[in-house]
Amino acid sequence: MKLSIRGASIIISFIVLISTVLPAHAKNLDKELMLAVHDNNLKKVESLVRQGANVNVKSGPPVDFTPLMYANSTEMVRLLLNKGADAKIKCGMDATPLLVARNVEIAEMLIARGAEVNAVTKDGQTPLLSAVQGNKTELVRFLLSKGAKADLKTSYRITPLMAATMNKNSTIIKLLKDAGARQ
């Protein structure tokens, strides 16, 4: 069976159309997913993922955060993880979802899915230092219990103990010292 020139032309036109429309459609789904995650709209996120939105899409430079990193509730994090979001993914500056974990329950879910408790960004930021800087006492306690190193320094030579001292948080200072922080 020979393909006519007209038939070949139709096939080529279809391929060109699909190769331009599908990526644009996927890109729109991904943008909608980011907005739905930000708005904590669980039903919309569920629907967008069913339609093909990428749960590991990155927001773009400079931060390149994923929906998981924008999730602001435990339920949203659980949904994204159950839909295939990568708890170990590295984004702009090598930030990970654990670096921006908002509470212990989220941190537990991320670590259970393989997040590295001592992951370090390009400038030396760690999940522990981030929790200290945010005055998240229970998260600091949890990360230390999971093996977070209390003395890791950023490229600016800042340690979690220094950050806790700057914040004047005596509870976190004690937690860090009890975990072996010296500076």
Give the integer Cα–Cα distance in Å for 94 and 9.
46
Domains 11-86 and 99-182 agree in fold: yes
Q: Which of 108, 37, 102, 106 is nearest to 66 (CA)?
A: 37
* Burial group, residue 17, by CB count within 10 angstroms (0-12, 13-18, 19+): exposed
- Phi, psi (degrees; rounded to nearest 5) at 106: -65, -45
In angstroms, the CA 128 to CA 110 distance is 14
pLDDT for 21 equals 41
pLDDT of residue 26: 56
Q: Can you give the three-state secondary structure of 85-101, one letter per residue?
A: CCCCCCCHHHCCHHHHC
Domain positions in the chain are 11-86, 99-182
pTM of the model: 0.84
In order along its 183 residues, the chain shows pLDDT tens digits of 555 555 545 554 444 444 444 444 457 999 999 999 999 999 999 999 999 999 999 998 888 999 999 999 999 999 999 999 999 999 989 999 999 999 999 999 999 999 999 999 999 999 999 999 999 999 999 999 999 999 999 999 999 999 999 999 999 999 999 999 998
CATH topology of domain 11-86: 1.25.40
- Which CATH superfamily is 99-182 part of? Ankyrin repeat-containing domain (1.25.40.20)
Residue 147 confidence (pLDDT)? 98
| pLDDT (0 to 100) of residue 47 | 98
